[in-house]
A and B are shown apart, each in its own frame.
Chain A
Amino acid sequence: MSKKFSIFLSALFCAFIGGMLLVSCILPDVDFSQLENRKLQELPKLTLRSVREGEFMEDAEAYAADHIAGRDLWVALQAWCERLTGKQENNGVYFGAQETLLNRLEEPDRDKLSKNMEYLDRLCSDVDADVYFGLIPSSAAIWSDRLPAGAPTANEKAVIDQLYRSTRAETVDLYGALDAHKGEDIYYRTDHHWTSLGAYYGYTALMDAMGLEAVPLDSLTPVTVTEDFNGTSFSTSGVRWLPPDSIQTYIPGDGLKVTRYPDGSPVDSPLYVDSYLKVKDKYSYFLGGVQPLCTIETGLEDAPKILLVRDSYSDSLAPFLTKNFSEIHLWDLRWNNTSLQTYIAEHDINDVVVLYSISNYVGDTKQVLLTR
């Protein structure tokens, strides 16, 4: 190596690592990553205690990683490199056919699930209302033909069938309803949720199970509210080469009284929250995202009252339910520790639906709250 070249190479290396440090320090700190949907690590405070417990070091490492210059670009570049070396997945998300990202589901822990079934059965016997149980399959199951050949993912049909056989609750055949329409846009391509169309088919399955009449699809008019939705699978995978999704609604949001309880106290709110269309997390347009409790009063007289033990899939289902129920209560076990059974009795709920996407259900640790 010539002297000149070695100086050049040394300078190049030092300029890169030094430059990265300098730019990362100069750039103003961003507090929140839209892409990752989380608060970024703050500059940790140097205290004797935090150092002694190693907390300072951990936080400082997280800070260095979170605030590196061009973080989102590096993540996108990594996904590109994976794709170029023939990988068909990144971070547990498959690069599927038809520009679709599909989340892998790990084989669930059957023991934990049978525990959940016991909690559900206790809910059935403890409350006066009719209890229904529905598991929503993921796009990887319904759109398995879009998965890369041989890509491993749990057999969701088998898991659902087994759980349905072992419960006393009325079951809702969501798998069958969605599978019958697998050729339609029933899931987002870049997000793990079902679309409003998918939610509609879920709604018909629920109405079937309850013996109620679903409003026909052709009586509803779809409205596209955004064509620029990059969902959770987009975030997780780092995949930046796919076109965004669009979000549609089928039910107008007016004439309803929607009350959110984000911190326990009531707040009047619309069915659709427009401000979310301006940020990355556009799915929260439906009812405003995660909350312990949300109620919808429809003004329908003589119609029954329904309570959904929800995850986020219920948010895009709820609009359809306004056609059949006088009150809709959305209850989130993950954020609500108050007594569910007391609430059901106090509000004269007629039908309780424990409704989860399978990926949430197998990871949920709060099912025991069904018994309180």
Chain B
Amino acid sequence: MVFSTPIFFFYFLVITLLAYYLVPRKLRNPVLLLSSLFFYWWGEGIYVLIMFLSTAIDYTHGLLVERCKARGNLRGAKLAVASSIIFNLALLGFFKYWNFLAGSFAALGLDFMPVIQYIRLPFLDPIPFHLPIGISFYTFQTMSYTIDVYRGDTRAQRNILNFGTFVTLFPQLIAGPIIKYKDLGDQIDQRACTSEKFASGVQIFMVGLGKKLLLANNVGMLWDAYKAMAPADLTVAGAWLGVLAFTFQIYFDFSGYSDMAIGLGRMLGFEFLPNFNYPYISRSITEFWRRWHISLSTWFREYLYIPLGGNRCSRPRWMFNLFVVWAATGIWHGASWNYLLWGLYFFALLMIEKFFLLDKLQRAPALVCRIYTLFLVMVSWTIFALEDFGHLGAYLKVMFGLGGVPLADPAFGYYLRSYAPILIIAAIASTPLGASLYRRLSRRGQEAACTVLVIAGLVVCTAYLVASTYNPFLYFRF
């Protein structure tokens, strides 16, 4: 189930909130656990077993690590952590990367890995093999748990229902943010549900819903139009317009989901850390990655970069560490070579910035820095958006005027005129301008503005939600 569907918004959310607040306090976690399992099962069917498996395995590993440590058996603790990491990585590797690797090897003429189409389990019909939604997020979350217990950053969870609630928590289950157990463990055991928290959750959720339905989906149609064009039909200006649309689409889609997750979390009494901080106003790529998908960057920092030695080592080793982190970041985004390329593209840019460009950028005018950053980020999104290298190469050529196509055509004019208002709104919404204007209002002013915006948001988002399911069957189309 995804948030931006009528069944989630008007059925699942209503019933879940109702049940959550009607049952006695100590039953709230079981209600959350049940509704989260339902949420996952609804869209993924039998794959919900992964939730049970993940919960059971990481729960026992957490306890094991703690017990070993309490008895001074460091080797046992290490083994337990390693076993938990191996399990989670195997889960991720199997579902996300097996067929990708099998296909890649097969392309080289090595077919020792069979392509999996069905999973066959005893007593069950063959299960069609696909990527279980959110697996990249929840395997990272559960992995952080045993590591944190090992490091002594948190205590192991003794109540398996509470631990299951952490693993399956529906607001962030399928699209993040990646929440570390040490940030959430105390809240799982005990949290305050106040009307202030609920109301701020409503605000953040509505911002997220608006980002997704009104901005991301909207500019997404523009990108779809350009993505579908054969390279020979593109124009230079059109190719850039298409990438600009994708630049906004991915930001508002992703940060919209994060906002919805954070908002839903608050409605249920949880505080999640923010995941995006206006990345498109960054003045360098280094800064961009401090503002983009913060929960992923910090995860890789804490659980990969620093364990590898971070920057407290020789320069070649440090570069190697960064290389590993960025290759992993790239391939984490999807099982396809273009994502790896995308990660390494950022590795290269960050190296260049760290070695000499960052000082210069600090002295340059802000506007120059922002244009520099946005330009490189847009190029990166081209790599990200086009999985087929042939298409990607042709598209990049057109962008840089090497495609032998015209600068612009009437269709470009049409798209620019049609989408200019929404692109301008998206550009403004990418900056903290709105938030700072809102902060300057008086308390009454804020309340009035908030009321109007929430009502308008509910009405307009519902219109777009319903329209997305509008599907006229006209007798002339079959």
Contact = CB atoms under 8 A, between A and B. Distances in A.
Nearest to B425: A85
B476 A312 contact: yes
A149 B418 contact: no
Given A54-B45, A334-B478, A61 B467 contact: no
B19 to A, nearest CB: 13
B42 interface: yes
A36 B466 contact: no
B474 A152 contact: no
A356 to B, nearest CB: 10
B463 interface: yes
Contact of B195 (A6, A65, A192): A6
Contacts of A1: 196, 199-200, 447
B436 interface: no
A6 B196 contact: yes
A36 B470 contact: yes
A222 to B, nearest CB: 24
Q: Which 7 A-B pairs have the closest CB atoms?
A: A150-B410, A6-B199, A150-B414, A38-B473, A78-B467, A65-B469, A74-B466
Contacts of B454: 9, 12-13
Contacts of B5: 61, 64-65
B14 A36 contact: no
- Name, among A35, A52, A77, the residue most crowded by chain B CB atoms within 10 Å (CB to CB): A77
Given A71-B466, A363-B477, 8 more contacts: A1-B199, A1-B447, A3-B195, A5-B199, A37-B472, A65-B466, A68-B6, A75-B467
Contacts, number: 171
A279 to B, nearest CB: 13
Interface in B426-478: 443, 447, 450-451, 454-455, 458-460, 462-467, 469-478
B421 A86 contact: yes
Interface stretch (A231-239, A250-258, A262-270): A231-239
Interface stretch (A17-25, A111-119, A173-181, A200-208): A17-25
Nearest to A18: B14
Contact of A86 (B9, B202, B417, B474): B417
B203 interface: yes
Interface string A143-163: 000001111100000000000
B411 A13 contact: no
B45 A20 contact: no
Nearest to B450: A9
A143 B421 CA distance: 27
Given A150-B412, A334-B478, A236 B443 contact: no
Contacts of A223: none
A150 B422 contact: no
Contacts of A91: 470
A9 B476 contact: no
Interface in B1-20: 5-7, 9-11, 13-14, 17-18
A232 B9 contact: no
A7 interface: yes
Given A12-B454, A68-B466, A20 B472 contact: no
Contact of A37 (B206, B458, B475): B475
B43 interface: yes
Contacts of A150: 409-414, 417
A54 to B, nearest CB: 6
Contacts of A21: 10-11, 14
B74 interface: no
Contacts of A17: 9-10, 13-14
A12 B455 contact: yes
Interface residues of A, number: 66
A150 B471 CA distance: 27
A16 B474 CA distance: 32
B407 to A, nearest CB: 14
B320 to A, nearest CB: 45
A8 B194 CA distance: 13
- Which of the four size classes fits the interface of chain B? 35 or more
A290 interface: yes
B420 interface: yes
Contacts of A148: 414, 417-418
Contacts of B478: 334, 363, 365
Contact of B476 (A7, A75, A151, A192): A192
A72 B245 CA distance: 29
Nearest to B202: A13
B426 to A, nearest CB: 11
A289 interface: yes
A361 to B, nearest CB: 11
A205 B473 CA distance: 31
B323 interface: no
Interface in B170-216: 194-196, 198-200, 202-203, 206
B43 to A, nearest CB: 7
A110 to B, nearest CB: 13
Contact of A38 (B459, B462, B472): B472
Nearest to A236: B472
Nearest to B417: A86
A60 interface: yes
Contacts of A38: 471-473
A78 B466 contact: yes
A327 interface: no
A289 B475 CA distance: 9
A290 B417 CA distance: 39
B393 to A, nearest CB: 23
A181 B469 CA distance: 38
